[in-house]
């Protein structure tokens, strides 16, 4: 018998989440998760995936959102599926710990890939002159809007990934261009525009279905409602709603954040600017929804 005490060796620390592989063998993994209050976790159907997946709550309170409704899970409660056939999103109402058991190993395969991408996204935002909070705020704001607009669980799951990773393609854009205080030259701007497609390609290379889907959203995060955006000049409802949400919250965060070369705008002015560009740059319903969440947005900043 293996006895594992305290500090688990196979531990992955991500922002708001700690994940430890506590036991594995014969194709089964037992993974301990600790989620901080407000963070999310998901069980999602995958092609050719036949595994049993099971969670048991150890401490804290976890809200379980599935297409059939919302349930509050308390210590001792559990959820099982074999295989997972619908998207389930879990939201930590308090700090929560649970054991996750799966009969097909995925811990290293999936967690490491997602973790690597998240670390890369954080490096990129720092290279871009933001603090490490930027990706987190974009993700939180995007999820607030997605929830209020009634996106389906699977759409919210991909939105969550895409929002955090939206600028990952900037890893290939030179630092001097990212941090250039003045206007970019035409050739510099052409290069900058490629970060949308580069982001999609970076996620495609992981070979992971969820990250590939997130990449499709990321490629569209600079499209404009009036069709004057890039890279594909998509317009209105040709643009995926998840991308339209990221566009609005990213613009808001960019306007209100202090950068090396300029002070951030105040919140009133930023909301006025979103309103002024409603229907041209931005999806009108997304802007209205975001503005309706103003008090929550201010709380989060």
Q: Rounded to an integer, what distance in angstroms lies between the CA atom of residue 217 and that of residue 167?
A: 11
Least Cβ distance, residue 63 to Fe ion (angstroms): 31
Q: Rounded to an integer, what distance in angstroms lies between the CA atom of residue 207 and that of residue 18?
A: 24
Position among 29, 125, 136, 167 found at the interface with Fe ion (CB under 5 A)? 167
Going by the DSSP 8-state scheme, the letter that residue 255 receives in this structure is H
Question: Measured from the CB atom, is 167 or 223 closer to Fe ion?
Answer: 167
Q: Is 154 in the site for Fe ion (CB under 5 A)?
A: no
Least Cβ distance, residue 196 to Fe ion (angstroms): 7
- DSSP-based three-state secondary structure for 234: coil
**Residues 6+ away with beta carbon under 8 Å from 132:** 122, 125, 126
User: What is the number of the residue whose Cβ is closest to Fe ion?
Assistant: 167
E strands present in 36-155: 40-43, 53-59, 62-66, 69-73, 78-81, 88-92, 96-102
Least Cβ distance, residue 285 to Fe ion (angstroms): 21
Question: Measured from the CB atom, is 136 or 167 closer to Fe ion?
Answer: 167
Question: Measured from the CB atom, is 60 or 169 closer to Fe ion?
Answer: 169
**Residues 6+ away with beta carbon under 8 Å from 267:** 256, 294, 297, 298, 301
Least Cβ distance, residue 167 to Fe ion (angstroms): 4
The percent of the chain in helix, strand and coil, each rounded to the nearest 5, is 45, 20, 35
Q: Is the peptide bond before 231 cis (omega within 30 degrees of 0)?
A: yes
Least Cβ distance, residue 195 to Fe ion (angstroms): 6
List the interface residues with Fe ion, window 87-106 (CB under 5 A): none
Q: Which listed range, 40-48, 51-59, 70-78, 162-170, lies at the site for Fe ion (CB under 5 A)?
A: 162-170
Least Cβ distance, residue 124 to Fe ion (angstroms): 10
Q: Which listed range, 2-10, 164-172, 174-182, 260-268, lies at the site for Fe ion (CB under 5 A)?
A: 164-172
Question: Measured from the CB atom, is 32 or 170 closer to Fe ion?
Answer: 170
Q: Which listed range, 14-22, 84-92, 166-174, 211-219, lies at the site for Fe ion (CB under 5 A)?
A: 166-174
Question: Measured from the CB atom, is 99 or 191 closer to Fe ion?
Answer: 191
Least Cβ distance, residue 127 to Fe ion (angstroms): 13
Question: Measured from the CB atom, is 100 or 252 closer to Fe ion?
Answer: 252
Question: Measured from the CB atom, is 167 or 219 closer to Fe ion?
Answer: 167
User: What strand order describes the sheet that includes 96-102?
Assistant: 11-14, 17-25, 28-35, 96-102, 53-59, 78-81
Total of chain residues touching Fe ion, rule CB under 5 A: 1
Residue 251 contacts residue 281 (beta carbons within 8 Å): yes
Q: Which chain residues interact with Fe ion by CB under 5 A?
A: 167
């Amino acid at each position: 018998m293996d006895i594992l005490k305290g500090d688990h060796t196979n531990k992955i620390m991500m922002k708001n989440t700690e994940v430890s592989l506590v036991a594995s063998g014969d194709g089964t993994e037992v993974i301990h998760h600790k989620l901080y209050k407000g963070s999310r976790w998901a069980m999602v159907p995958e092609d050719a995936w036949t595994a049993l997946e099971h969670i048991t709550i150890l401490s804290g309170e976890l809200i379980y959102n599935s297409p059939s409704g919302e349930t509050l899970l308390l210590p001792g409660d559990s959820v099982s599926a074999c295989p997972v056939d619908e998207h389930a999103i879990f939201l930590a109402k308090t700090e929560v710990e649970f054991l996750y058991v799966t009969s097909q190993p995925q811990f290293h395969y999936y967690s490491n890939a997602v973790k690597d991408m998240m670390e890369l996204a954080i490096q990129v935002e720092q290279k871009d002159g933001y603090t490490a909070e930027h990706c987190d705020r974009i993700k939180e704001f995007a999820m607030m809007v997605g929830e209020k607009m009634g996106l389906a669980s699977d759409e919210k799951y991909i939105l969550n990934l895409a929002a955090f990773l939206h600028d990952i393609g900037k890893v290939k854009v030179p630092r001097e261009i990212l941090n250039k205080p003045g206007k970019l030259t035409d050739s510099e701007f052409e290069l900058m525009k490629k970060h949308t497609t580069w982001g999609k390609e970076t996620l495609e290379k992981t070979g992971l279905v969820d990250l590939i889907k997130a990449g499709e959203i990321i490629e569209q995060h600079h499209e404009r409602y009036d069709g004057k955006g890039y890279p594909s000049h998509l317009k209105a409802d040709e643009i995926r709603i998840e991308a339209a949400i990221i566009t609005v919250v990213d613009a808001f965060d960019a306007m209100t954040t202090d950068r090396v070369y300029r002070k951030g705008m105040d919140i009133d002015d930023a909301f006025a600017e979103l309103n002024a560009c409603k229907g041209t740059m931005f999806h009108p319903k997304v802007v209205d929804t975001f503005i309706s969440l103003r008090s929550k947005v201010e709380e989060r900043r």
